[in-house]
A and B are shown apart, each in its own frame.
Chain A
Amino acid sequence: MTEPLIRIQDIHKSFAKVEVLSGISMDVAKGEVVCVIGPSGSGKSTLLRCVNALVPIDKGSIVVDGQEVHDPKLDKLALRRKVGMVFQQYNLFPHKTALENVMMAPVHVLKQDKKEVEARARGLIKKVRLEGKESSYPGELSGGQQQRVAIARSLAMQPEVMLFDEVTAALDPETVKEVLLAIRELAEEGMTCMIVTHEMGFAREIAGHVYFTDRGVIVEHGPPKEFFSGAKDPRTRQFLSQIL
Protein backbone atom coordinates (compact mmCIF):
# COMPACT_ATOMS: atom_id res chain seq x y z
CA MET A 1 0.00 0.00 0.00
CA THR A 2 1.25 3.49 -0.76
CA GLU A 3 2.20 5.95 1.94
CA PRO A 4 -0.82 8.04 3.07
CA LEU A 5 -0.73 11.76 2.27
CA ILE A 6 -1.50 12.62 5.90
CA ARG A 7 -0.47 10.35 8.74
CA ILE A 8 -1.57 11.41 12.21
CA GLN A 9 -0.18 9.26 15.02
CA ASP A 10 -1.24 9.44 18.63
CA ILE A 11 -1.32 13.24 18.93
CA HIS A 12 -1.95 14.97 22.24
CA LYS A 13 -2.73 18.60 22.84
CA SER A 14 -3.62 20.50 26.00
CA PHE A 15 -4.69 24.08 26.51
CA ALA A 16 -3.82 25.21 30.03
CA LYS A 17 -3.83 21.69 31.50
CA VAL A 18 -7.10 20.74 29.81
CA GLU A 19 -6.40 17.93 27.39
CA VAL A 20 -8.30 18.61 24.17
CA LEU A 21 -6.74 15.88 22.03
CA SER A 22 -5.88 12.67 23.86
CA GLY A 23 -4.23 10.39 21.36
CA ILE A 24 -5.74 10.72 17.92
CA SER A 25 -4.51 8.69 14.97
CA MET A 26 -5.73 8.62 11.40
CA ASP A 27 -4.45 8.16 7.89
CA VAL A 28 -5.71 10.02 4.88
CA ALA A 29 -4.74 8.69 1.48
CA LYS A 30 -4.20 10.91 -1.54
CA GLY A 31 -7.55 11.73 -3.09
CA GLU A 32 -9.47 10.49 -0.08
CA VAL A 33 -12.23 12.47 1.60
CA VAL A 34 -12.66 12.01 5.32
CA CYS A 35 -15.35 13.58 7.46
CA VAL A 36 -14.90 14.24 11.16
CA ILE A 37 -18.05 14.55 13.23
CA GLY A 38 -18.57 14.92 16.94
CA PRO A 39 -20.10 17.05 19.65
CA SER A 40 -19.06 20.65 20.26
CA GLY A 41 -15.80 20.97 22.14
CA SER A 42 -14.59 17.50 21.23
CA GLY A 43 -11.48 18.89 19.56
CA LYS A 44 -12.39 18.73 15.88
CA SER A 45 -11.18 22.25 15.05
CA THR A 46 -8.04 21.74 17.09
CA LEU A 47 -7.29 18.57 15.14
CA LEU A 48 -7.53 20.41 11.80
CA ARG A 49 -5.43 23.32 13.11
CA CYS A 50 -2.69 20.90 14.10
CA VAL A 51 -2.45 19.56 10.56
CA ASN A 52 -1.33 22.93 9.14
CA ALA A 53 0.66 23.89 12.25
CA LEU A 54 -1.63 26.70 13.36
CA VAL A 55 -1.59 24.88 16.71
CA PRO A 56 1.55 23.08 17.93
CA ILE A 57 1.05 19.59 19.37
CA ASP A 58 2.46 18.37 22.68
CA LYS A 59 3.08 14.75 21.71
CA GLY A 60 2.76 12.45 18.71
CA SER A 61 3.45 13.01 15.06
CA ILE A 62 1.77 14.40 11.99
CA VAL A 63 3.37 13.77 8.63
CA VAL A 64 2.01 15.57 5.58
CA ASP A 65 3.41 14.45 2.25
CA GLY A 66 6.58 13.18 3.88
CA GLN A 67 7.07 16.31 6.03
CA GLU A 68 6.96 16.11 9.82
CA VAL A 69 4.68 19.02 10.71
CA HIS A 70 6.03 19.55 14.20
CA ASP A 71 9.68 19.43 13.33
CA PRO A 72 11.11 22.70 14.70
CA LYS A 73 13.02 23.13 11.45
CA LEU A 74 9.83 22.80 9.42
CA ASP A 75 9.41 25.26 6.57
CA LYS A 76 5.92 26.49 7.43
CA LEU A 77 5.53 28.15 4.07
CA ALA A 78 6.19 24.87 2.30
CA LEU A 79 3.64 23.10 4.50
CA ARG A 80 0.94 25.72 4.25
CA ARG A 81 1.08 26.03 0.50
CA LYS A 82 0.30 22.32 0.43
CA VAL A 83 -2.52 22.51 2.97
CA GLY A 84 -5.42 24.88 2.35
CA MET A 85 -7.91 25.71 5.08
CA VAL A 86 -11.43 27.15 5.05
CA PHE A 87 -13.04 28.44 8.24
CA GLN A 88 -16.54 28.66 9.62
CA GLN A 89 -16.40 32.47 9.68
CA TYR A 90 -14.99 32.80 6.11
CA ASN A 91 -12.34 35.30 7.34
CA LEU A 92 -12.06 37.06 4.00
CA PHE A 93 -9.98 40.23 4.02
CA PRO A 94 -12.69 42.91 4.08
CA HIS A 95 -10.56 45.68 2.53
CA LYS A 96 -9.86 43.64 -0.62
CA THR A 97 -12.19 42.66 -3.45
CA ALA A 98 -13.07 39.03 -4.09
CA LEU A 99 -10.49 38.83 -6.87
CA GLU A 100 -7.80 40.47 -4.72
CA ASN A 101 -8.58 38.08 -1.87
CA VAL A 102 -7.95 35.16 -4.20
CA MET A 103 -4.82 36.68 -5.74
CA MET A 104 -3.06 37.97 -2.65
CA ALA A 105 -1.31 34.89 -1.32
CA PRO A 106 0.02 33.52 -4.64
CA VAL A 107 1.34 36.98 -5.57
CA HIS A 108 2.86 37.98 -2.23
CA VAL A 109 3.70 34.65 -0.63
CA LEU A 110 4.62 32.51 -3.62
CA LYS A 111 5.83 35.54 -5.63
CA GLN A 112 4.14 34.23 -8.73
CA ASP A 113 3.59 36.34 -11.80
CA LYS A 114 0.63 38.65 -11.32
CA LYS A 115 -0.88 38.10 -14.76
CA GLU A 116 -0.74 34.34 -14.43
CA VAL A 117 -2.25 34.49 -10.95
CA GLU A 118 -5.03 36.75 -12.14
CA ALA A 119 -5.99 34.36 -14.91
CA ARG A 120 -6.00 31.49 -12.45
CA ALA A 121 -7.96 33.47 -9.87
CA ARG A 122 -10.63 34.40 -12.41
CA GLY A 123 -10.88 30.75 -13.34
CA LEU A 124 -11.33 29.74 -9.70
CA ILE A 125 -14.01 32.38 -9.13
CA LYS A 126 -15.83 31.03 -12.14
CA LYS A 127 -15.43 27.51 -10.82
CA VAL A 128 -17.18 28.39 -7.56
CA ARG A 129 -19.91 30.07 -9.65
CA LEU A 130 -19.19 33.66 -8.71
CA GLU A 131 -18.52 35.07 -12.12
CA GLY A 132 -19.29 38.78 -12.11
CA LYS A 133 -18.49 39.18 -8.39
CA GLU A 134 -14.75 39.64 -8.93
CA SER A 135 -14.74 43.29 -7.89
CA SER A 136 -17.24 42.99 -5.04
CA TYR A 137 -16.02 43.49 -1.50
CA PRO A 138 -16.76 40.74 1.05
CA GLY A 139 -19.25 43.06 2.79
CA GLU A 140 -21.31 43.12 -0.40
CA LEU A 141 -21.55 39.33 -0.68
CA SER A 142 -23.86 36.86 1.05
CA GLY A 143 -22.42 34.37 3.52
CA GLY A 144 -22.52 31.56 0.99
CA GLN A 145 -20.82 33.72 -1.62
CA GLN A 146 -18.14 34.78 0.85
CA GLN A 147 -17.50 31.17 1.78
CA ARG A 148 -17.07 30.25 -1.87
CA VAL A 149 -14.58 33.09 -2.31
CA ALA A 150 -12.74 31.69 0.72
CA ILE A 151 -12.61 28.29 -0.97
CA ALA A 152 -11.28 29.87 -4.17
CA ARG A 153 -8.72 31.83 -2.13
CA SER A 154 -7.42 28.61 -0.62
CA LEU A 155 -7.37 26.82 -3.95
CA ALA A 156 -5.33 29.61 -5.51
CA MET A 157 -2.32 28.31 -3.57
CA GLN A 158 -2.75 25.01 -5.47
CA PRO A 159 -2.79 22.90 -2.30
CA GLU A 160 -2.71 19.14 -2.16
CA VAL A 161 -5.03 18.91 0.83
CA MET A 162 -8.02 21.00 1.84
CA LEU A 163 -9.22 21.33 5.43
CA PHE A 164 -12.82 22.45 5.93
CA ASP A 165 -13.86 23.43 9.45
CA GLU A 166 -17.66 23.56 9.72
CA VAL A 167 -17.76 25.77 6.67
CA THR A 168 -21.55 25.75 6.43
CA ALA A 169 -22.32 26.19 10.13
CA ALA A 170 -22.79 29.96 9.86
CA LEU A 171 -24.92 29.84 6.71
CA ASP A 172 -28.66 29.77 6.19
CA PRO A 173 -30.06 26.57 4.66
CA GLU A 174 -30.47 28.13 1.21
CA THR A 175 -26.81 28.93 0.80
CA VAL A 176 -25.50 25.76 2.45
CA LYS A 177 -26.25 23.87 -0.77
CA GLU A 178 -24.13 26.05 -3.02
CA VAL A 179 -21.12 25.73 -0.72
CA LEU A 180 -21.52 21.96 -0.38
CA LEU A 181 -21.76 21.73 -4.15
CA ALA A 182 -18.42 23.50 -4.51
CA ILE A 183 -16.81 21.10 -2.05
CA ARG A 184 -18.37 18.08 -3.72
CA GLU A 185 -16.98 19.11 -7.10
CA LEU A 186 -13.54 19.45 -5.58
CA ALA A 187 -13.77 16.02 -3.99
CA GLU A 188 -14.88 14.49 -7.28
CA GLU A 189 -11.85 15.99 -8.98
CA GLY A 190 -9.66 14.05 -6.59
CA MET A 191 -8.75 16.70 -4.01
CA THR A 192 -7.77 15.22 -0.67
CA CYS A 193 -10.15 16.65 1.94
CA MET A 194 -10.55 16.61 5.71
CA ILE A 195 -14.01 17.91 6.46
CA VAL A 196 -15.42 18.75 9.88
CA THR A 197 -19.17 19.00 9.46
CA HIS A 198 -22.56 18.68 11.06
CA GLU A 199 -24.21 17.94 7.72
CA MET A 200 -24.72 14.20 8.12
CA GLY A 201 -26.39 13.69 4.76
CA PHE A 202 -23.45 15.37 3.07
CA ALA A 203 -20.93 13.31 5.05
CA ARG A 204 -22.72 10.11 4.13
CA GLU A 205 -22.62 10.96 0.43
CA ILE A 206 -19.18 12.38 0.09
CA ALA A 207 -16.92 10.73 2.67
CA GLY A 208 -14.78 7.72 2.04
CA HIS A 209 -14.34 7.41 5.78
CA VAL A 210 -16.13 8.96 8.75
CA TYR A 211 -14.55 9.59 12.15
CA PHE A 212 -16.54 10.28 15.29
CA THR A 213 -14.63 12.17 18.00
CA ASP A 214 -15.65 12.79 21.57
CA ARG A 215 -13.57 14.30 24.36
CA GLY A 216 -10.37 14.23 22.38
CA VAL A 217 -10.43 10.64 21.16
CA ILE A 218 -11.76 8.86 18.10
CA VAL A 219 -14.61 6.77 19.44
CA GLU A 220 -15.53 5.04 16.23
CA HIS A 221 -14.79 5.22 12.53
CA GLY A 222 -15.58 3.46 9.31
CA PRO A 223 -16.94 3.82 5.80
CA PRO A 224 -20.13 5.89 5.88
CA LYS A 225 -22.55 3.09 5.07
CA GLU A 226 -21.45 0.96 8.01
CA PHE A 227 -20.85 3.94 10.25
CA PHE A 228 -24.29 5.49 9.88
CA SER A 229 -26.31 2.30 9.90
CA GLY A 230 -24.37 0.14 12.29
CA ALA A 231 -22.70 2.33 14.89
CA LYS A 232 -21.70 0.15 17.82
CA ASP A 233 -20.53 2.54 20.50
CA PRO A 234 -23.34 3.98 22.66
CA ARG A 235 -21.81 7.48 22.50
CA THR A 236 -21.87 7.43 18.71
CA ARG A 237 -25.43 6.16 18.69
CA GLN A 238 -26.58 8.82 21.07
CA PHE A 239 -24.90 11.56 19.02
CA LEU A 240 -26.37 10.27 15.76
CA SER A 241 -29.85 9.94 17.24
CA GLN A 242 -29.69 13.55 18.41
CA ILE A 243 -28.55 14.98 15.14
CA LEU A 244 -30.43 12.88 12.56
Chain B
Amino acid sequence: MLLPFRLARPAEPVFSPTARWGLMLIVLFALSVGAAEAQTSAGQPGILATIWKWTPLLAQGFALNIAISFLAMAIGTAAGVPLGICQISLLPPLRGGSWFVTQFFRNSPWLVLLFYCMLLLPFEVNIAGHIVPIPGWIKSTVGLSLPVMANMSELVRGAIRSIPAGQWEAADALAFSRRQILWMIILPQCVKRMTPPWMNLYAILTVATPLCSVVGVSEAMTLTRDALASEARNELLVPMYLYLLAAFFVYCYPIARATQALEKKFAVK
Protein backbone atom coordinates (compact mmCIF):
# COMPACT_ATOMS: atom_id res chain seq x y z
CA MET B 1 0.00 0.00 0.00
CA LEU B 2 1.18 3.43 -0.85
CA LEU B 3 1.33 5.88 1.99
CA PRO B 4 0.07 9.29 1.12
CA PHE B 5 3.16 11.35 0.98
CA ARG B 6 3.26 14.87 2.19
CA LEU B 7 4.56 17.63 0.00
CA ALA B 8 7.24 19.59 1.69
CA ARG B 9 5.93 23.06 2.37
CA PRO B 10 7.98 25.59 0.44
CA ALA B 11 10.18 27.34 2.90
CA GLU B 12 9.68 31.06 3.46
CA PRO B 13 12.10 32.82 1.14
CA VAL B 14 15.00 34.01 3.23
CA PHE B 15 16.11 36.49 0.64
CA SER B 16 14.08 38.72 -1.64
CA PRO B 17 14.36 37.86 -5.36
CA THR B 18 16.79 40.72 -5.97
CA ALA B 19 18.96 39.71 -3.03
CA ARG B 20 19.07 36.16 -4.32
CA TRP B 21 20.15 37.50 -7.67
CA GLY B 22 22.95 39.38 -5.93
CA LEU B 23 23.97 36.32 -3.98
CA MET B 24 24.09 34.35 -7.21
CA LEU B 25 26.31 37.02 -8.67
CA ILE B 26 28.77 36.65 -5.80
CA VAL B 27 28.76 32.86 -6.08
CA LEU B 28 29.25 33.14 -9.82
CA PHE B 29 32.10 35.56 -9.27
CA ALA B 30 33.77 33.18 -6.80
CA LEU B 31 33.32 30.23 -9.19
CA SER B 32 34.71 32.16 -12.13
CA VAL B 33 37.69 33.30 -10.07
CA GLY B 34 38.29 29.69 -9.09
CA ALA B 35 37.99 28.48 -12.67
CA ALA B 36 40.25 31.22 -13.95
CA GLU B 37 42.76 30.56 -11.18
CA ALA B 38 42.95 26.96 -12.41
CA GLN B 39 43.87 28.17 -15.89
CA THR B 40 46.50 30.57 -14.65
CA SER B 41 49.92 29.32 -15.64
CA ALA B 42 52.71 29.23 -13.09
CA GLY B 43 54.62 32.45 -12.52
CA GLN B 44 51.65 34.73 -13.39
CA PRO B 45 50.01 36.80 -10.61
CA GLY B 46 46.75 35.43 -9.19
CA ILE B 47 43.35 36.47 -10.55
CA LEU B 48 42.20 38.26 -7.38
CA ALA B 49 45.52 40.07 -7.09
CA THR B 50 45.19 41.24 -10.69
CA ILE B 51 41.65 42.45 -10.19
CA TRP B 52 42.72 44.21 -7.00
CA LYS B 53 45.51 45.93 -8.89
CA TRP B 54 43.04 47.43 -11.37
CA THR B 55 40.43 48.33 -8.78
CA PRO B 56 41.53 51.98 -8.19
CA LEU B 57 41.30 52.70 -11.92
CA LEU B 58 37.95 50.93 -12.27
CA ALA B 59 36.65 52.85 -9.25
CA GLN B 60 37.56 56.08 -11.00
CA GLY B 61 35.58 54.98 -14.02
CA PHE B 62 32.67 53.96 -11.86
CA ALA B 63 32.69 57.39 -10.23
CA LEU B 64 32.25 58.87 -13.69
CA ASN B 65 29.24 56.57 -14.26
CA ILE B 66 27.70 57.90 -11.06
CA ALA B 67 28.48 61.50 -11.99
CA ILE B 68 26.84 61.00 -15.40
CA SER B 69 23.80 59.40 -13.79
CA PHE B 70 23.39 62.26 -11.29
CA LEU B 71 23.75 64.94 -13.90
CA ALA B 72 21.53 63.26 -16.51
CA MET B 73 18.88 62.69 -13.84
CA ALA B 74 19.02 66.34 -12.76
CA ILE B 75 18.77 67.65 -16.32
CA GLY B 76 16.12 65.11 -17.29
CA THR B 77 13.99 65.88 -14.25
CA ALA B 78 14.32 69.64 -14.62
CA ALA B 79 13.25 69.43 -18.27
CA GLY B 80 10.73 66.61 -17.87
CA VAL B 81 8.55 68.25 -15.20
CA PRO B 82 7.62 71.32 -17.29
CA LEU B 83 7.27 69.09 -20.36
CA GLY B 84 4.82 66.87 -18.48
CA ILE B 85 2.84 69.86 -17.27
CA CYS B 86 2.64 71.15 -20.86
CA GLN B 87 1.07 67.83 -21.81
CA ILE B 88 -2.09 68.80 -19.90
CA SER B 89 -2.09 72.40 -21.14
CA LEU B 90 -5.36 73.83 -22.43
CA LEU B 91 -3.52 75.28 -25.44
CA PRO B 92 -3.66 72.66 -28.21
CA PRO B 93 -0.30 73.54 -29.85
CA LEU B 94 1.54 73.37 -26.53
CA ARG B 95 -0.20 70.14 -25.56
CA GLY B 96 0.41 68.56 -28.96
CA GLY B 97 4.01 69.73 -29.17
CA SER B 98 4.96 68.46 -25.74
CA TRP B 99 3.17 65.19 -26.43
CA PHE B 100 5.19 64.73 -29.62
CA VAL B 101 8.53 65.56 -27.96
CA THR B 102 7.74 63.15 -25.15
CA GLN B 103 6.74 60.29 -27.43
CA PHE B 104 9.70 60.90 -29.73
CA PHE B 105 12.36 60.65 -27.02
CA ARG B 106 10.56 57.95 -25.08
CA ASN B 107 10.50 55.64 -28.06
CA SER B 108 13.99 56.23 -29.42
CA PRO B 109 16.76 53.78 -28.54
CA TRP B 110 19.03 55.35 -25.92
CA LEU B 111 22.12 54.43 -27.88
CA VAL B 112 20.88 56.22 -31.00
CA LEU B 113 20.21 59.35 -28.95
CA LEU B 114 23.73 59.09 -27.54
CA PHE B 115 25.26 58.92 -31.01
CA TYR B 116 23.20 61.88 -32.16
CA CYS B 117 24.34 64.00 -29.24
CA MET B 118 27.98 63.05 -29.83
CA LEU B 119 27.68 64.06 -33.48
CA LEU B 120 25.47 67.12 -33.22
CA LEU B 121 26.85 68.90 -30.16
CA PRO B 122 29.99 70.93 -30.83
CA PHE B 123 33.24 69.84 -29.19
CA GLU B 124 33.81 73.38 -27.95
CA VAL B 125 31.82 76.56 -27.46
CA ASN B 126 32.79 80.19 -27.55
CA ILE B 127 31.59 81.94 -24.40
CA ALA B 128 32.43 85.66 -24.50
CA GLY B 129 35.70 85.10 -26.28
CA HIS B 130 36.73 82.08 -24.23
CA ILE B 131 36.93 78.76 -25.99
CA VAL B 132 35.37 76.23 -23.65
CA PRO B 133 35.76 72.62 -24.70
CA ILE B 134 32.86 70.24 -24.18
CA PRO B 135 34.22 66.85 -23.14
CA GLY B 136 32.63 63.69 -24.50
CA TRP B 137 31.18 62.66 -21.15
CA ILE B 138 29.19 65.89 -20.95
CA LYS B 139 27.78 65.31 -24.42
CA SER B 140 26.80 61.76 -23.56
CA THR B 141 25.20 63.02 -20.34
CA VAL B 142 23.01 65.30 -22.42
CA GLY B 143 22.22 62.33 -24.64
CA LEU B 144 21.09 60.22 -21.69
CA SER B 145 19.08 63.04 -20.16
CA LEU B 146 16.79 63.15 -23.22
CA PRO B 147 15.08 59.80 -22.60
CA VAL B 148 15.06 60.57 -18.86
CA MET B 149 13.24 63.82 -19.66
CA ALA B 150 10.67 62.01 -21.79
CA ASN B 151 10.04 59.34 -19.16
CA MET B 152 9.78 62.00 -16.48
CA SER B 153 7.26 63.89 -18.61
CA GLU B 154 5.08 60.79 -18.80
CA LEU B 155 5.43 60.24 -15.05
CA VAL B 156 4.23 63.78 -14.38
CA ARG B 157 1.33 63.51 -16.81
CA GLY B 158 0.27 60.16 -15.38
CA ALA B 159 0.50 61.42 -11.80
CA ILE B 160 -1.59 64.51 -12.58
CA ARG B 161 -4.22 62.38 -14.27
CA SER B 162 -4.32 59.98 -11.35
CA ILE B 163 -5.53 62.73 -8.99
CA PRO B 164 -9.31 62.34 -8.65
CA ALA B 165 -11.40 64.82 -10.66
CA GLY B 166 -13.12 65.82 -7.41
CA GLN B 167 -9.96 67.69 -6.39
CA TRP B 168 -10.18 69.92 -9.46
CA GLU B 169 -13.90 70.36 -9.00
CA ALA B 170 -13.68 71.30 -5.34
CA ALA B 171 -10.88 73.77 -6.05
CA ASP B 172 -12.82 75.22 -8.97
CA ALA B 173 -15.84 75.71 -6.74
CA LEU B 174 -13.60 77.62 -4.31
CA ALA B 175 -12.64 79.98 -7.14
CA PHE B 176 -8.99 78.92 -7.44
CA SER B 177 -7.47 79.68 -10.84
CA ARG B 178 -6.24 76.78 -12.98
CA ARG B 179 -2.65 77.72 -12.27
CA GLN B 180 -3.26 77.84 -8.52
CA ILE B 181 -5.04 74.48 -8.61
CA LEU B 182 -2.11 72.91 -10.41
CA TRP B 183 0.64 74.34 -8.21
CA MET B 184 -1.05 74.39 -4.83
CA ILE B 185 -3.34 71.38 -4.95
CA ILE B 186 -2.54 68.91 -7.71
CA LEU B 187 1.27 68.89 -8.03
CA PRO B 188 1.99 68.66 -4.28
CA GLN B 189 -0.10 65.48 -4.25
CA CYS B 190 1.80 64.19 -7.28
CA VAL B 191 5.23 64.45 -5.64
CA LYS B 192 4.51 61.58 -3.29
CA ARG B 193 3.10 59.38 -6.02
CA MET B 194 5.99 60.08 -8.32
CA THR B 195 8.85 59.44 -5.93
CA PRO B 196 9.02 55.62 -6.24
CA PRO B 197 8.81 55.54 -10.07
CA TRP B 198 11.28 58.43 -10.19
CA MET B 199 13.80 56.40 -8.14
CA ASN B 200 13.14 53.46 -10.39
CA LEU B 201 13.92 55.63 -13.40
CA TYR B 202 17.18 56.63 -11.75
CA ALA B 203 18.17 52.98 -11.26
CA ILE B 204 17.41 52.24 -14.92
CA LEU B 205 19.46 55.26 -15.99
CA THR B 206 22.41 54.18 -13.84
CA VAL B 207 22.60 50.72 -15.34
CA ALA B 208 22.37 52.34 -18.79
CA THR B 209 25.43 54.57 -18.26
CA PRO B 210 27.90 51.94 -19.62
CA LEU B 211 26.34 52.74 -23.02
CA CYS B 212 28.65 55.76 -22.95
CA SER B 213 31.61 53.43 -23.48
CA VAL B 214 30.36 52.84 -27.02
CA VAL B 215 30.88 56.53 -27.79
CA GLY B 216 34.32 56.56 -26.19
CA VAL B 217 33.74 57.92 -22.71
CA SER B 218 36.27 56.59 -20.17
CA GLU B 219 33.75 55.20 -17.72
CA ALA B 220 33.95 51.88 -15.88
CA MET B 221 33.09 49.70 -18.87
CA THR B 222 35.68 51.32 -21.12
CA LEU B 223 38.36 51.06 -18.44
CA THR B 224 37.54 47.40 -17.79
CA ARG B 225 38.05 46.70 -21.46
CA ASP B 226 41.32 48.66 -21.44
CA ALA B 227 42.54 46.73 -18.42
CA LEU B 228 41.70 43.44 -20.07
CA ALA B 229 43.47 44.49 -23.25
CA SER B 230 46.64 45.38 -21.39
CA GLU B 231 46.60 42.13 -19.38
CA ALA B 232 45.90 40.05 -22.51
CA ARG B 233 44.79 37.06 -20.45
CA ASN B 234 41.63 35.31 -21.62
CA GLU B 235 40.87 33.72 -18.25
CA LEU B 236 40.46 37.23 -16.74
CA LEU B 237 37.53 38.11 -19.00
CA VAL B 238 34.68 36.49 -17.08
CA PRO B 239 35.72 37.43 -13.51
CA MET B 240 36.52 41.01 -14.53
CA TYR B 241 33.12 41.69 -16.12
CA LEU B 242 31.37 39.96 -13.22
CA TYR B 243 33.29 42.28 -10.91
CA LEU B 244 31.88 45.25 -12.83
CA LEU B 245 28.36 43.79 -12.71
CA ALA B 246 28.69 43.36 -8.96
CA ALA B 247 29.70 47.00 -8.56
CA PHE B 248 26.51 48.14 -10.31
CA PHE B 249 24.47 45.71 -8.28
CA VAL B 250 25.85 46.94 -4.97
CA TYR B 251 25.03 50.51 -5.98
CA CYS B 252 21.55 49.92 -7.41
CA TYR B 253 20.19 47.28 -5.05
CA PRO B 254 19.68 49.63 -2.06
CA ILE B 255 17.85 52.03 -4.38
CA ALA B 256 15.54 49.24 -5.49
CA ARG B 257 14.92 48.28 -1.86
CA ALA B 258 14.19 51.86 -0.86
CA THR B 259 11.79 52.19 -3.80
CA GLN B 260 9.90 49.09 -2.70
CA ALA B 261 9.76 50.29 0.89
CA LEU B 262 8.36 53.66 -0.20
CA GLU B 263 5.78 52.01 -2.44
CA LYS B 264 4.63 49.87 0.45
CA LYS B 265 4.48 52.83 2.78
CA PHE B 266 2.41 54.92 0.38
CA ALA B 267 0.11 52.02 -0.45
CA VAL B 268 -0.89 51.64 3.20
CA LYS B 269 -2.07 55.25 3.52
Which residues from chain A sit less than 8 Å from chain B, CB to CB?
A: 52, 54, 76-77, 80-81, 83-85, 87, 89, 91-95, 104-105, 108-109, 139, 150, 153-154, 157
B169 lies within 8 A of A91 (CB) = yes
Among B172, B176, B184, contact of A54 (Cβ-Cβ < 8 Å): B172
User: Which residue of chain B has its CB nearest to the CB of A84?
Assistant: B173
A104 lies within 8 A of B184 (CB) = yes
In the bound complex, residues from chain B placing their C-beta under 8 Å from that of A80 are 172-175
| A84-B173, A109-B180 given; A91·B188 CB < 8 A | no
| A87-B169, A89-B166 given; A95·B176 CB < 8 A | no
In the bound complex, residues from chain A placing their C-beta under 8 Å from that of B171 are 93
User: Which residue of chain A has its CB nearest to the CB of B168?
Assistant: A91
A108 lies within 8 A of B184 (CB) = yes
Q: In whole angstroms, what is the CA distance A244 to B78 when docked?
A: 59
Instruction: State how many angstroms separate the Cβ of A123 from the closest Cβ of chain B.
Output: 18
Q: In whole angstroms, what is the CA distance A89 to B167 when docked?
A: 10
B175 lies within 8 A of A105 (CB) = yes
- CB of B134 within 8 Å of the partner chain: no
B180 lies within 8 A of A93 (CB) = no
B contact face: mostly helix, strand, loop, or mixed: helix
B269 lies within 8 A of A95 (CB) = no
User: Which residue of chain B has its CB nearest to the CB of A93?
Assistant: B185
- CB of B170 within 8 Å of the partner chain: yes
Q: In whole angstroms, what is the CA distance A105 to B189 when docked?
A: 17
Q: In whole angstroms, what is the CA distance A91 to B167 when docked?
A: 6
When A and B form their complex, what is the total count of cross-chain residue pairs whose Cβ atoms lie within 8 Å?
54
A85 lies within 8 A of B180 (CB) = no
A85 lies within 8 A of B175 (CB) = no
In the bound complex, residues from chain B placing their C-beta under 8 Å from that of A87 are 166, 169-170
A139 lies within 8 A of B174 (CB) = no
Instruction: State how many angstroms separate the Cβ of B223 from the closest Cβ of chain A.
Output: 46
A81 lies within 8 A of B169 (CB) = no
A sample of 17 more A-B contacts (CB under 8 A), given A109-B180, A157-B174, is: A54-B169, A54-B172, A54-B173, A76-B175, A83-B173, A85-B170, A87-B169, A91-B164, A91-B167, A91-B169, A95-B189, A104-B184, A105-B176, A109-B175, A109-B176, A139-B269, A154-B173
Q: In whole angstroms, what is the CA distance A91 to B166 when docked?
A: 6
User: Which residue of chain B has its CB nearest to the CB of A76?
Assistant: B175
In the bound complex, residues from chain B placing their C-beta under 8 Å from that of A139 are 269
A153 lies within 8 A of B174 (CB) = yes
Q: In whole angstroms, what is the CA distance A154 to B176 when docked?
A: 13
Q: In whole angstroms, what is the CA distance A93 to B170 when docked?
A: 9
Q: Which 5 A-B pairs have the closest CB atoms?
A: A91-B170, A80-B175, A91-B166, A105-B174, A85-B173
In the bound complex, residues from chain B placing their C-beta under 8 Å from that of A92 are 170
Cross-chain pairs A/B with CB under 8 angstroms, 28 sampled: A52-B173, A54-B173, A76-B175, A80-B173, A80-B174, A80-B175, A81-B175, A83-B173, A84-B173, A85-B170, A87-B166, A87-B170, A89-B164, A89-B166, A91-B166, A91-B167, A91-B169, A93-B185, A94-B189, A95-B189, A105-B175, A108-B176, A108-B180, A108-B184, A109-B175, A109-B176, A153-B174, A157-B175
Q: In whole angstroms, what is the CA distance A176 to B39 when docked?
A: 80
Which of A52, A108, A153 neighbours the largest number of chain B CB atoms within 10 Å of its CB?
A108
Q: In whole angstroms, what is the CA distance A83 to B174 when docked?
A: 9
In the bound complex, residues from chain A placing their C-beta under 8 Å from that of B175 are 76-77, 80-81, 105, 109, 157
B173 lies within 8 A of A93 (CB) = no
B169 lies within 8 A of A109 (CB) = no
User: Which residue of chain B has its CB nearest to the CB of A89?
Assistant: B166
Q: In whole angstroms, what is the CA distance A193 to B170 when docked?
A: 18
